[in-house]
Amino acid sequence: MDLTPRLLEQFTVLAEEKHFGRAASRLMMSQPPLSQAVQRLERIIGTRLCTRSSQGVSLTPAGEAFAADARRILDAQESAVARARRIASGAEGELNIGFVNSLGHWHLPRLLADAAEQLPGLRLHLRQGSTAALIDLVRSGTVELALVRQPPPDIEDLTVHRLTGERLAAALPVAHRRAGAGRLSLADLREDSFALAGDGPLQQLAQRALLACDRAGFVPTVRAHADDLPGLLSYVASGLCVTLAPEHTAALSFPGVRFLPLTDEAPELTTTLAALHRPHADPAVRSLLALAGASFAG
């Protein structure tokens, strides 16, 4: 004979009610089958678990111990079922998330905060890298979801989701002649020296800046290169250069740098933020992806 969950449930309810009639009512069954179930349970275990009296039901020491253990078993079963359902729905689990440097100061913190609030059972492990490196990590399965800027068009083996667009803004030294303006055009910077990204994670930003300047009618004088945003902004803060950076870089509050929006309509000044994953993503990836769409666009 088996110790079925139903048999355990019947005994734990009896242990709580201390009365066959009330226990049977809670279990939505008649009293005789409940009495027979308890007798069957006692035969399985090989000892008496309860005694009847005119006052109701009393548990033996063995019955008290078994009732406590049976309740823990039932709670664990319920918890296991609920957790499996949460994982299947994408509300729980673990994900390795890759991101490019330029998303780490504004977009990623917002996504982490939203995930902690709306998907508290999802544990995220972060890994920073260039777009090219993250694409390789997604392909290998090391990273389940990568958040990138301006993904290349030739990644047909991965699924690409556009999350939002982000404009480039002008980053000027606070002492710059135009730092007090509300906005400016790229042509206003034709006489300035530029700091641009080198052959690193931000190379595509540099290419877009050069294309936008060309559309504005000039070739910028490039005085310095850096591989990341803090390096570029350090050149700007020194007063030596200007640069173009994603508009939300202003959230860094970099001392000595003033960010101004650009009036130019050049398409190169809008970058695409996207998420990459392998086809047939698991539910946790889909859940975080839906959240990222709202977090990045907000």
pLDDT for 298 equals: 66
Domain boundary among the residues 71, 89, 107 is at 89
DSSP 199: S
pLDDT digits (tens, 9 = 90+) for 87-143: 666 666 788 899 998 888 889 999 999 999 998 888 899 999 888 889 999 998 889
Amino acid letter for position 1 = M
Rounded Cα distance between 177 and 226, Å, is: 24
Instruction: Answer whether 19's CB lies under 8 Å from 55's CB.
Output: no
Residue 190 sits in a domain whose CATH number is 3.40.190.10
Domain boundary among the residues 74, 89, 104 is at 89
Instruction: Answer whether 235's CB lies under 8 Å from 195's CB.
Output: yes
pLDDT for 132 equals: 86
pLDDT digits (tens, 9 = 90+) for 209-247: 999 999 999 999 999 999 888 899 999 999 999 999 999
pLDDT digits (tens, 9 = 90+) for 19-36: 888 988 998 999 899 889
Q: How many domains does the structure of the chain reveal?
A: 3
Do 154 and 25 belong to one domain? no
Do 169 and 256 belong to one domain? yes
Domain boundary among the residues 31, 54, 89 is at 89
pTM: 0.69
Rounded Cα distance between 49 and 243, Å, is: 80
34-40 long-range contacts (CB < 8 A, ≥24 apart) are 34/10, 37/7, 37/10, 37/11, 38/10, 38/11, 38/14, 40/1, 40/7
Do 148 and 119 belong to one domain? yes
Do 81 and 25 belong to one domain? yes
Rounded Cα distance between 3 and 11, Å, is: 11
pLDDT for 297 equals: 78
pLDDT for 90 equals: 61
When the pLDDT of each residue in the chain is averaged and rounded to a whole number, the result is 88
pLDDT for 295 equals: 86
Do 30 and 57 belong to one domain? yes
What are the b/e assignments for 224-260, b being 16+ CB within 10 Å? bbbbbbebbbbbbbeeebbbbbbbbbbeeebeebbbb
156 band by pLDDT with thresholds 50, 70 and 90? confident
pLDDT for 176 equals: 95
Do 172 and 263 belong to one domain? yes
pLDDT for 104 equals: 86
pLDDT digits (tens, 9 = 90+) for 158-213: 999 999 999 999 999 999 999 999 899 999 999 999 999 887 767 888 999 999 99
**Contacting residues for 251 by C-beta, under 8 A, at least 6 apart:** 105, 106
Do 68 and 216 belong to one domain? no
Q: Quote the tokens at residue 10.
A: 């019947």
Do 149 and 292 belong to one domain? yes
pLDDT for 224 equals: 93
DSSP secondary structure string, 107-130?
A: HHHHHHHHHHHH-TEEEEEEEE--
Section 140-149 average pLDDT: 91
Helix H or strand E encompassing 13: helix 5-17
Residue for token digits 């991965």? 158
Do 143 and 279 belong to one domain? yes
Other CB atoms closer than 10 Å to residue 99's CB: what's the count? Answer: 22
pLDDT digits (tens, 9 = 90+) for 236-278: 999 999 999 999 888 778 899 999 999 999 999 999 999 999 9
Instruction: Give percent of the chain with pLDDT exceeding 70.
Output: 94
Do 169 and 266 belong to one domain? yes
Do 80 and 205 belong to one domain? no
Residue 26 sits in a domain whose CATH number is 1.10.10.10
Task: Give the angle 162-124-231 at the CA atoms, nearest 5°.
Answer: 65
Amino acid letter for position 172 = L
Do 183 and 265 belong to one domain? yes
Question: Taking the CA atoms of the chain, what radius of gyration do you get in angstroms?
Answer: 32
Range(s) of the domain holding residue 28: 5-89
pLDDT for 235 equals: 95
pLDDT for 275 equals: 95
250-256 long-range contacts (CB < 8 A, ≥24 apart) are 250/169, 251/105, 251/106, 252/105, 254/171, 254/230, 256/173, 256/174
Rounded Cα distance between 194 and 222, Å, is: 5
Task: Calculate helix-pair angle for 283-297, 107-118, nearest 10 degrees.
Answer: 130
